[in-house]
């Protein structure tokens, strides 16, 4: 991808100013009141004009416009005008949608770094430690309109570590790309080996329960030492329990790889017992116990709609049944298993089974952001949110539609014309 040729010339707005709350408020005020006058400093403003804006936060705006500046969305509606010096992108007849969010992926790392197979429970692992800022995965993601991703360890262990929520663009400095460093603790149900404990789902449940109890004891010992006035040496630190303690204290949450309804209910029981926040991933049979999930506010991130996976018509309708039962759902591509370019098609297929178009879009944008706990920044086209959006040459959900432009933090990061295809 030839970013260098597609980006507009570098503007003279210092980075710090772009993100300062004061500067942001000022921009917001000017754009809301009137177009920025001719005296305005050279800026990095981009106006997307004339498209159908699917905001994921309300009804679509026909013939609408979105103004981006300082990396953020500063105006949106049907009467937004371009400030002087703004780059204008004509989106007439096109669909504009929020940058897609893949809530569950394993990108940006070597496939050999996804699973620490000898480990059964390894909450101390952090996916951040294997992320390669220069991986080709990021370009692929951007070319498909995916601008935010929850990327994390695989499912080769029953607990495989902490995921990270980050932008798919932005260069070498990962700290600038990360939205949430403690992006969720990956659990994976089902035995991972035939040769060592646990080899059954019972065994998996028991070993998870045992580990959670040990974590409770670890926290209790910590608390006792503090209650006793921090006398003597503190209890020995254990990275594993310390990481799992983040789950029990709800500073992060459980992201559980699960297919069968039986394993879903095991997780529900563990949640009830230990009081952690739970989200389901892949969630093939979650629809069978939808009321149990709705009752507890458990969200489901669903995989099986990948067009490559043949599953029963019942399970294909699963997302619809979950949605109808009031469960918040997102779709995921499990990239690199399914190329993230087709994340949108996972939502399209859910639409086929009865989910309305705008709700389907939320499953790869707003819902995905809310489940990932980053909805204050991304997931919908609203003033104040990050300037991440995608422009399609046709309906976003149709297989034949192509991504024309992707904007990330308010700048063009993919331009199909410049790609030459």
Partner 1 sequence: MLASVHSRPAPLAWAALTLGLALPAAHRSAQAQDKPVVIRGGTVLPISGPAIPNGTVVLRGGKIAAVGANVPVPAGATVVDARGRYVMPGVVDAASHIGIGATDLNETSDPMTPGLRAIESYNPFGEFGAGQPGPLRNKEALSGGVTTMYIAPADASLLGGQGAVVKTAGPDLDGVIVREPAAIDMTLGTPPKTAARARNRDPATRMAEVAMLRQLLIKAQEYRRNKQANPTLARDLGMEALDRLLSREIPGRIQANAATDIRSALRLAQEFGFDLIVDGGAGAWEMKDELAARRVPVVLGQVSHPYVSNEEIPDTQDYPPVDERLASRLTGAGIKTAIATFSRAFGSLAPAGTGKWLLIDAGIAAGFGMTEDQVLKAVTLIPAEILGVAERVGSLEVGKDADVVILDGPPLSVKTWVRQVYLNGELVYQK
Q: Rule CB under 8 A: which residues touch partner 1?
A: 111, 306-313, 336-339, 341-342, 345, 348-349, 351-352, 393-394, 397-402, 421
Tell the smallest beta-carbon distance from residue 338 to partner 1 (Å): 7
| Lookup result for tokens 């920044």 | 377
Pair of tokens at residue 26: 């000022």
Rg (CA), the chain: 23
Tell the smallest beta-carbon distance from residue 94 to partner 1 (Å): 14
Q: Which is nearer to partner 1, 397 or 405 (CB)?
A: 397
Distances (CA, A) of 366 to 54, 148, 210, 290, 308: 11, 11, 35, 21, 25
3-state helix, strand, coil in the chain (%, to 5): 35, 20, 45
Distances (CA, A) of 140 to 108, 170, 350, 410: 11, 14, 23, 19
248-284: string of b/e by CB count within 10 Å (b at 16+)?
beeebbbbbbbbebebbebbbebbeebebbbbbbbbb
Q: Which is nearer to partner 1, 111 or 233 (CB)?
A: 111
Tell the smallest beta-carbon distance from residue 413 to partner 1 (Å): 19
Per DSSP, what are the bridge partners of residue 180? 165
DSSP for residue 11: P
Q: Which is nearer to partner 1, 222 or 401 (CB)?
A: 401
287-306: string of b/e by CB count within 10 Å (b at 16+)?
bbbbebbeeeebbbbbbbbb
Q: Residue 229, exposed/middle/buried by CB under 10 A (0-12, 13-18, 19+)?
A: exposed
Q: Which is nearer to partner 1, 242 or 393 (CB)?
A: 393
Are the C-beta atoms of residues 76 and 65 closer than 8 Å to each other?
yes
Tell the smallest beta-carbon distance from residue 400 to partner 1 (Å): 4
Q: Which residues are within 8 A (CB) of 154 and not within 5 positions of it... i.e. 6 or more apart?
A: 106, 114, 115, 160, 188
Tell the smallest beta-carbon distance from residue 150 to partner 1 (Å): 19
Tell the smallest beta-carbon distance from residue 393 to partner 1 (Å): 8
Tell the smallest beta-carbon distance from residue 101 to partner 1 (Å): 19
Tell the smallest beta-carbon distance from residue 372 to partner 1 (Å): 23
Q: Which is nearer to partner 1, 76 or 403 (CB)?
A: 403
CB atoms within 10 A of CB 26: 13
Q: Which is nearer to partner 1, 43 or 284 (CB)?
A: 284
308-342: string of b/e by CB count within 10 Å (b at 16+)?
eeeeeeebbbbbbbbbebebbbbbbbbbbebbbbb
Q: Which is nearer to partner 1, 75 or 406 (CB)?
A: 406
Tell the smallest beta-carbon distance from residue 348 to partner 1 (Å): 4
Q: Which is nearer to partner 1, 201 or 222 (CB)?
A: 201
Q: Which is nearer to partner 1, 28 or 351 (CB)?
A: 351
Tell the smallest beta-carbon distance from residue 401 to partner 1 (Å): 6
Q: Which is nearer to partner 1, 267 or 349 (CB)?
A: 349
Q: Residue 411, exposed/middle/buried by CB under 10 A (0-12, 13-18, 19+)?
A: buried
Rounded Cα gap, residues 176 and 321, in angstroms: 38
């Amino acid at each position: 991808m030839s970013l260098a040729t597609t980006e507009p010339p570098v503007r003279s707005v210092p980075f710090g100013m772009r993100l300062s709350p004061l500067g942001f408020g000022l921009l917001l005020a000017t754009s809301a009141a009137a177009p920025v006058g001719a005296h305005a400093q050279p800026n990095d403003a981009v106006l997307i004009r004339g498209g159908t804006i699917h905001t994921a936060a309300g009804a679509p705006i026909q013939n609408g416009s979105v103004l981006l500046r300082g990396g953020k969305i500063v105006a949106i509606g049907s009467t937004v005008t371009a400030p002087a010096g703004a780059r204008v992108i004509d989106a007439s007849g096109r669909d504009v949608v929020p940058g897609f969010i893949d809530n569950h992926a394993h990108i940006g790392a070597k496939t050999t770094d996804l699973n620490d197979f000898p480990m059964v429970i390894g909450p101390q692992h952090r996916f951040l430690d294997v992320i390669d800022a220069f991986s080709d995965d990021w370009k692929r993601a951007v070319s498909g309109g995916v601008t935010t991703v929850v990327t994390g360890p695989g499912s080769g262990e029953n607990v495989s570590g902490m995921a990270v929520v980050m932008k798919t663009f932005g260069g070498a400095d990962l700290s600038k790309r990360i939205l949430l460093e403690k992006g969720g603790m990956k659990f994976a149900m089902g035995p991972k080996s035939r040769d060592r404990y646990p080899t059954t789902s019972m065994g998996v449940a028991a070993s998870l329960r045992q580990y959670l109890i040990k974590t409770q004891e670890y926290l209790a010992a910590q608390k006792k030492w503090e209650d006793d006035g921090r006398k003597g040496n503190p209890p020995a630190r254990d990275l594993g329990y310390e990481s799992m303690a983040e789950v029990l204290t709800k500073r992060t949450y459980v992201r559980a790889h699960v297919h069968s309804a039986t394993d879903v209910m095991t997780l529900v029981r563990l949640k009830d017992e230990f009081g952690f926040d739970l989200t389901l991933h892949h969630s093939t049979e979650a629809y069978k116990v939808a009321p149990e999930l709705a009752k507890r506010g458990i969200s489901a991130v669903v995989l099986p709609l990948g067009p490559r996976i043949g599953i029963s018509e019942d399970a294909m309708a699963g997302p619809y049944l979950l949605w109808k039962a009031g469960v918040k759902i997102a779709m995921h591509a499990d990239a690199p298993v399914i190329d993230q370019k087709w994340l949108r098609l996972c939502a399209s297929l859910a639409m086929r089974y009865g989910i309305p178009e705008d709700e389907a879009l939320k499953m790869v944008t707003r819902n995905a952001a809310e489940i990932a706990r980053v909805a204050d920044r991304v997931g919908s086209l609203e003033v104040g949110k990050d300037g991440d959006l995608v422009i399609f040459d046709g309906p976003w959900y149709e297989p034949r539609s192509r991504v024309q432009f992707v904007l990330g933090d308010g700048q063009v990061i993919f331009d199909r014309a410049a790609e030459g295809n």
